[in-house]
């Protein structure tokens, strides 16, 4: 594992009133679309989530066009991070890592934004590389890999980028990374270019084709499709797209992580649901309890990325992970204590 950069700000050190023996850890993933927090208590060789927070902030809104984080987007992100800092302070968090991804990688004014976050919340953002983002996502969802299958495709469809990893799976279920790729295509970037309300079928196919074009060379270089055709390849998806589609597939009256995380979604059902969402207006999608107003204009772009992946690598079904970078950070923090982590849902 790579070394872990830990923040040392007052809201995150927890030494004012908390006992060191409590081992309270926190992870924040500030993405292009979402701000997510997990707070966990280390318990021997596992951790148990004791608090969480998630808010759609659309930090990357307009970044591809302007190269800068917009003022309204920064204000939304700072407000969400202030909530995170307050929760961390109340929970007496001892150690944490706070990472920012594609939007902040692209933005020329990231340093000004980082200074503003530090000034207003006490938190210090760490912008991470696509490779580190993929590593953390894999660490977070690796417990869902099936050790009976020799290879795995793991992907994370984000707001500003999509990470995909090609893995060998050891007999104990642990992954060996063979190759990875980060595409500068996510639900926010594609929606801004192609639209997010009523998307014509041909425009949707153009999105699928763009993603496919960027994945084809990766497939050829590593012979992935040939391995898929032979069998023994599993697929694991960690993203709001796959969790949302799974919630729709299961007709949930509201999104329920305990039902979705670790479940399976077959490709035929994913395509049927995607085409149904494509035929809807943004308002119609927003009315679904597992989509809502904040995701309604983004979900079609996520479906296009997913469809490109499924067409290129017809595994047949994917396992759904409502976990990723945050869990990976928490596992790193446990490893820094010499522990062998295991994730336990709270």
Say if residue 18's pLDDT is above 60: no
307-333 residue pLDDT tens: 999 999 999 999 999 999 999 999 999
Do 32 and 148 reside in the same domain of the chain?
Answer: no
Domain contains 337: no
pLDDT in tens, 44-92: 778 899 999 999 999 999 998 999 999 999 999 999 999 999 999 999 9
CATH of the domain at 54: 3.30.420.40
Domain range enclosing 39: 10-128
Burial category of 120 from C-beta neighbours within 10 Å (exposed 0-12, middle 13-18, buried 19 and up): middle
Same domain, 108 and 227: no
Alpha-helical segments (H) within 254-298: 257-260, 267-278, 282-286, 292-295
Residues making up the chain, counted from first to last: 346
Provide the domain count of the chain.
2
Mean predicted lDDT score pLDDT of the chain: 89
Taking only the tens place, the pLDDT of each residue in 94-152 is: 999 999 999 999 999 999 999 999 999 999 999 999 999 989 999 999 999 999 999 99
> pTM (2 decimals)?
0.83
One domain, residues 86 and 153: no
Indicate the residue among 78, 112, 128 that finishes a domain.
Answer: 128
Closest C-alpha to 153, from 287, 274, 302, 319 = 319
Assigned domain for 345 exists: no
Query: In terms of domains, do 212 and 114 share one?
Result: no
Say if residue 117 is in the same domain as residue 160: no
Together in a domain, 227 and 281? yes
């Amino acid at each position: 594992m790579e070394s872990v950069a830990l923040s040392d700000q007052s809201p995150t050190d927890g030494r004012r009133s908390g006992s060191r023996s409590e081992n309270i850890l926190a992870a924040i993933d500030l993405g292009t679309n979402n701000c997510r927090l997990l707070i966990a208590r280390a318990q021997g060789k596992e951790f148990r989530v004791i608090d969480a927070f998630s808010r759609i902030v659309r930090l990357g809104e307009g970044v591809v066009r302007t190269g800068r984080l917009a003022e309204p987007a920064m204000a939304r992100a700072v407000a969400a991070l202030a909530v995170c800092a307050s929760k961390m302070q109340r929970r007496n968090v001892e150690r944490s890592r706070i990472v920012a991804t594609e939007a902040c990688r692209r933005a020329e004014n990231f340093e000004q934004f980082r200074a503003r976050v530090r000034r207003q919340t006490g938190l210090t953002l760490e912008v991470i590389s696509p490779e580190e983002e993929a590593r953390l996502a894999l660490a977070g969802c690796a417990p869902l890999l099936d050790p009976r299958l020799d290879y795995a495709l793991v992907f994370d469809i984000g707001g500003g980028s999509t990470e995909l990893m090609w893995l060998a799976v050891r007999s104990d279920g642990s992954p060996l990374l063979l190759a990875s790729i980060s595409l500068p295509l996510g639900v926010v970037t594609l929606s801004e270019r192609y639209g997010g309300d009523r998307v014509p079928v041909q425009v949707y196919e153009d999105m699928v084709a763009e993603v496919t074009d960027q994945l084809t060379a990766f497939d050829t270089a590593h012979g992935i499709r040939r391995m898929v055709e032979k069998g023994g390849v599993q697929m694991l998806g960690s993203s709001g797209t796959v969790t949302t589609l799974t919630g729709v597939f299961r007709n949930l009256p509201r999104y329920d992580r305990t039902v979705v995380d670790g479940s399976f979604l077959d490709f035929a059902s994913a395509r049927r649901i995607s085409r149904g969402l494509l035929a809807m207006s943004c308002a119609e999608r927003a009315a679904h309890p597992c989509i809502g107003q904040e995701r309604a204009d983004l979900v079609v772009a996520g479906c296009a990325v997913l469809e490109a992946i499924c067409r290129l690598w017809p595994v047949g079904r994917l396992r759904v992970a409502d976990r990723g970078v945050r869990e990976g950070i928490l596992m790193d923090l446990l490893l820094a204590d010499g522990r062998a982590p295991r994730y336990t849902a709270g």
